[in-house]
Amino acid sequence: MRLTFLGTGTSAGVPMIGCRCGVCTSDDPRDQRTRPSVMLSFGDDSAPDGERRLLVDTGQELRLQCVREGVERIDAVLYTHAHADHVYGLDDLRRFSGRMDDPLPLYAEAGTQEALRELFPYVFGEGRNPNGGFVPKLALQTVAAGESFRPLPTVPLSVTPLRLMHGRLPVLGFRFDSPEGSIAYCTDCSEVPEAARARLGGLDVLVLDALKPTKHPTHLSLAEAVAIAADLRAGRTFLTHLAHDLAHAELQERTPAGVEPAYDGLKVGPAPA
């Protein structure tokens, strides 16, 4: 099991349009933060290229992220919620679904599915694409917080959706358990409720939202994320959904042992590399 950070930025991305701050003009490639997304990869001899891949969210830069990482196949997609920086790259899935015999499965809560249907009527609405073609073939699958499922039938992977709060908006995080270890992805949250924390023990890798140094109504601050990491005691914790307030090097200096900022293209597994 391998986790690839496709994007680690905010809804505006870094660099931000029109900003000349030190982070937005940095020449450190780790300060180039595209919209948030991760991909999990699993060895599988039955796959055409020997791997199964699970994508979490489809932000606006999905095409660029996949080209950068050489991703040519995706087997399933999970959605945390329906904000623009997490779903607006959905149309790029047609390059993946076009290589599949069956529709590409999308796993999302009922409310997220409703939003996707409204945002992409030409994909999900019958008769809404008169020219035909050039539309991803997708199959919506309903998930619910606390109810584990297996999105990859040939891979011994259990996925458990977790209820997180993104300000007043309920969203999902995900815990991934395989024989190789356990990883959890909790982005876009200002609160990790006790019910979710109870299911986040014994992790090898934890990924947490840490928008900026100061408090924010819909995201964890750096200090809040570090405190949650200390409470959950994962083997390693990586911070994502990072704004332009702190450079990667500055974030490294401000985080304790076992906690570190992620960056686009970073790859981690359950055991230290």
User: How many of the other CB atoms lie within 10 Å of CB of 40?
Assistant: 25
Per-domain residue ranges of the chain: 2-268
Report the distance separating Cα 114 and Cα 39, nearest Å: 24
Check residue 273 and give its pLDDT. Answer: 44
DSSP string, 240-270: ES--SSS-HHHHHHHS-TTEEE--TT-EE-S
> How many helices and strands in the chain, by DSSP H and E?
8, 13
Per-residue pLDDT in tens (0 to 9) along the chain, 273 residues: 999 999 999 999 999 999 999 999 999 999 999 999 999 999 999 999 999 999 999 999 999 999 999 999 999 999 999 999 999 999 999 999 999 999 999 999 999 999 999 999 999 987 667 666 789 999 999 999 999 999 999 999 999 999 999 999 999 999 999 999 999 999 999 999 999 999 999 999 999 999 999 999 999 999 999 999 999 999 999 999 999 999 999 999 999 999 999 999 999 998 754
Size (the chain), residues: 273
Which residues make Cβ contacts (< 8 Å) with residue 189, sequence separation at least 6?
A: 164, 165, 166, 171, 173, 208, 209, 219, 220
Question: Which of 3, 23, 7 has the alpha carbon at shortest distance from 15?
Answer: 23
Report the distance separating Cα 74 and Cα 76, nearest Å: 6
Superfamily of domain 2-268: Ribonuclease Z/Hydroxyacylglutathione hydrolase-like (3.60.15.10)
Q: Which residues on neighbouring strands pair with residue 165, listed in sequence order?
A: 170, 191
Mode of pairing for the β-strands spanning 2-7 and 267-268: antiparallel
Q: How far, in whole angstroms, is CA 200 from its chain's centroid?
A: 17
Report the distance separating Cα 31 and Cα 17, nearest Å: 14
9 phi and psi angles, rounded to 5 deg: -95, -170
Segment holding 110, helix H or strand E: helix 110-119
pTM for the structure as a whole: 0.96
Check residue 162 and give its pLDDT. Answer: 99
